[in-house]
Amino acid sequence: MAHSGNKPRVNTSAIVMTLYLVFLLLPIYWLLNMSLKTNEEILSVFSIWPRNLTFANYATILTDASWYMGYVNSLIYVVMNTVISLLVALPAAYAFSRYSFMGDKHLFFWLLTNRMAPPAVFALPFFQLYSSVGLFDTHIAVALAHCLFNVPLAVWILEGFMRGVPKEIDETAYIDGYSFPRFFIKIFTPLIASGIGVAAFFCFMFSWVELLLSRTLTSVEAKPIAAAMTRTVSASGLDWGVLAAAGVLTIVPGALVIYFVRNYIAKGFALGRV
């Protein structure tokens, strides 16, 4: 009985998942498809796969500095942001997970409110702030601006993971004569390595996908790839093939990062709170 009742359910699950994944992948496939066509083919015939396979669109991007520097710029500020966010978030998350002190709950919520702040609200003041301190159009400006939402998130995730580490470990280490910095680096950090990985993944993700602030804070030197794409849309009369190729290339770093954290991803999305 139980078996005959189980069998069809397994199959419906597979069907549901297949349909959902097709729904997810179809638009991405279409982008990939277009990136491998010439503009004439895109605009003249409607084809499900490229008839004249061409890599010219990718060649355009990989040989033109104004294109590929966009990727380099994006990666530079994303990595900077991830490093800064983690460095400041680690001690703070430890404090929140281990100690209670004056105003801790309010402080924690206040930090989270920054994650809730609409970037649109901050675009103009950021522009003025970073222009006045001479950081406009630098990578560090974007990296610092993205800290606005990444630091609270990193604190939140790390705190969740740190809560899962028993306090007895800290106490034993102190009795054994470890100083706080040594304990933190030698013993504690390896224990929450997966949490750090997940936090880094999220910082990377939200910094990588953000456009409004990074576009507002840069003009030439640190222009992110996302902004380079929007400019092409308006200026060069819609070069669909190159646009699609640029889009496909922006998916690659994300896909690589996902592959590395795939085993922690579900727990990570629950911010360590499962």
> Smallest distance from the beta carbon of 76 to another protein, in angstroms?
15
Window 12 to 41, contacts with another protein (CB under 8 A): 12-13, 16-17, 20-21, 23-28, 30-31, 34
Q: x/- contact string, 157-196, with another protein (CB under 8 A)?
A: ------x---x-----------------------------
Stretch that binds another protein, among 50-58, 61-69, 93-101, 186-194 (CB under 8 A): 93-101
Q: Does 129 bind another protein (CB under 8 A)?
A: yes
CB 113 within 8 A of CB 148: no
Helix axes 240-261, 225-235, angle to 10 degrees: 160
In the list 62, 83, 120, 169, the residue contacting another protein (rule: CB under 8 A) is 120
The contacts of residue 68 (CB under 8 Å, 6+ apart) are 61, 62
Instruction: Name the residue nearer to another protein (CB basis): 186 or 231.
Output: 231
Residue count, binding to another protein (CB under 8 A): 99
The two structure tokens encoding residue 51? 């008839």
Measured between alpha carbons, how far is 269 from 274 in angstroms, rounded to an integer?
10
205 counts as binding another protein under rule CB under 8 A: yes
Of the candidates 189, 219, 236, 263, which one interacts with another protein according to CB under 8 A?
Answer: 263
Q: Is 199 in the site for another protein (CB under 8 A)?
A: no
Q: Mention every residue, 6+ apart, whose C-beta is less than 8 A from residue 98.
A: 162, 167, 170
Contact 85, 154 (CB under 8 A): yes
**Tokens representing residue 232 in the block:** 């092409």
Binding mask 220-239 for another protein (x = CB under 8 A): -----xx--xx--x------
Helix (H, G, I), strand (E, B) or coil at 223: coil
What are the angstrom distances between the C-alpha of 255 and each of 46, 161, 258? Answer: 28, 24, 5
Span near another protein by CB under 8 A; candidates 51-59, 60-68, 106-114, 185-193: 106-114
State the nearest-atom distance from the C-beta of 149 to another protein, in Å. 10
